[in-house]
Amino acid sequence: MRRFLPSTRRMTTLAGAAFVGAAATVMFAAPASATTATVTGEADCGDNGEYTISWTITSDYPSVELTISDVKVTPNGPLSEDLNGKKIKGLPASVTVTQAVAGTTTKAELSFHPTWGNGHIVDRYSGSVTMDGQCKATEQGGPAPEQPPAQQPPAQEQPPAQQPPAKAAPAPALPVTGAQAGLYAGGAAVLVAAGAGLFVVARRRRVTFEA
């Protein structure tokens, strides 16, 4: 019985065809399996007591078109730009939007449904960011600057208060002079003369009586 054995050339051809087929399968399947996207977020506390979250969606395969749809955020709030229908392809392979949330928020999340141009089917991509929930408003304008002490006007020298003139001490009583002194002197002379006269008269009468 004669057994058929393939020739070496035939085996080489079959091996080459299998390799090309496998390479083609890998080449066409690679984009579909490599197309992924990421969602990242960064939160910053503002002076108004609210967090501002910057959301960034990045395509890890820029050569394949990515269409964003069914965007959802938690807590619910408007984004700075509507991402529904946004397409990402080529560089830069990302899009960034912002969202304002309350200062007491401790976690925020963004998710979306992707549509890949190569037919790769993924339900949703999502990302989240955590905060401490302690974002508080600062005082408007910051602390008030210190005011320099008010300058006092130079004190004007006041003239010394005028003291009322001192009352003159009453002059010591002087002895009575003038007309009153003459009157007293005259009276004294009259009395002396009268006394002398009486003395003379008395003496005469005495002499006469004895004779």
Domain positions in the chain are 34-130
Asked whether residue 206 carries a pLDDT value surpassing 60, the answer given is: no
Residue 100 is predicted with a pLDDT of: 98
Average predicted confidence (pLDDT) for the chain: 77
What are the backbone angles phi and psi of residue 6, rounded to the nearest 5°?
-65, 145
Find the Cα–Cα–Cα–Cα dihedral 180, 185, 188, 193, rounded to 10°.
Answer: -140
Q: Which fold has domain 34-130?
A: Immunoglobulin-like (2.60.40)
Q: Is 195 exposed, middle or buried (0-12, 13-18, 19+ CB in 10 A)?
A: exposed
Residue with the larger pLDDT of the pair 23 and 74: 74
> With bands split at pLDDT 50, 70 and 90, how would you rate the model's confidence at 52?
very high
> With bands split at pLDDT 50, 70 and 90, how would you rate the model's confidence at 77?
very high
Asked whether residue 108 carries a pLDDT value surpassing 60, the answer given is: yes
Asked whether residue 11 carries a pLDDT value surpassing 70, the answer given is: no
pLDDT tens digits, one per residue of 158-177: 666 666 666 655 555 555 55
Residue 151 is predicted with a pLDDT of: 72
Q: Is the pTM of this model over 0.75?
A: no
**Closest by CA position to 100, among listed 45, 18, 28:** 45
Asked whether residue 40 carries a pLDDT value surpassing 90, the answer given is: yes
Residue 202 is predicted with a pLDDT of: 60
User: Mean pLDDT throughout 78-89?
Assistant: 96
pLDDT tens digits, one per residue of 141-161: 555 556 666 676 666 666 666
Tell me the sheet residues that pair with 52.
44, 100
107 contacts 131 by C-beta, under 8 angstroms: yes
d(CA 63, CA 118): 10
